[in-house]
Amino acid sequence: MKSYRLSAISCQFVITLVAVTLIGCGGAPPDPVVEAVSTTGAAAPEPTRALPEAIAPDGRRLTLELALTRDEISQGLMFRNSLPDDRGMLFVFAEERTPSFWMKNTLIPLDMVFLSPGGTIVDVIHNALPCTKDPCPQYVAKAEALAVLEVAAGVTQSYGLEEGIQLKFERVPGFPRELAP
């Protein structure tokens, strides 16, 4: 029986080929990566994945968590002790409806921004308070919406978010939706 030995270069080639093949079979392309650039020559921090964002008319940005599935929508921001002013959760529904929210198990007061399919604000509920006992009040939009943005109480006022304002969104799959002409 013959014995074959691979050189170190051959082994490195085989390992690289296997790694490239495995990475290439992943299916969808990877998420975009934001590269940190250092102007001082110091080692740059690790790159981070670009996150979904809502952009106010004045250019300020809110980094978003997305609630897209039934379970994510049901959980929402429950059991959170805080929510930074530059963060929010965007609930995107399969179709336009008159959404109703409650604050059961939500520990922080929130503002709720109801959005049309194109990203225009159709209603705002300010300072929805946590619910400590049943029955919890329902917060119902006064108009149909395709999405709801929840932010910490007071953020809508500080960002100037009110009915009729158009928000822009980046890296939010399926939202806003293009309106037929």
Q: Report CA torsion sign: 171, 61, 105, 100.
A: negative
- pLDDT the model gives residue 42: 52
Are 174 and 137 in contact, with CB atoms under 8 Å apart? no
Q: Which fold has domain 53-170?
A: Jelly Rolls (2.60.120)
Domain ranges of the chain: 53-170
Q: What does the chain come to in residues?
A: 181
pTM of the model: 0.72
For the chain, the distance separating the N- and C-terminal CA atoms, rounded to the nearest angstrom, is 75
Per run of 10 residues, the mean pLDDT along the chain (length 181 residues) is 41 34 35 39 60 96 94 91 96 94 93 97 97 91 97 97 97 85 58
3-state DSSP helix/strand/coil % of the chain, to nearest 5? 15, 30, 50
- pLDDT the model gives residue 73: 87
- pLDDT the model gives residue 68: 87
Contacts of 172 (CB under 8 A, 6+ apart): 52, 64, 66, 90, 92
- pLDDT the model gives residue 132: 80
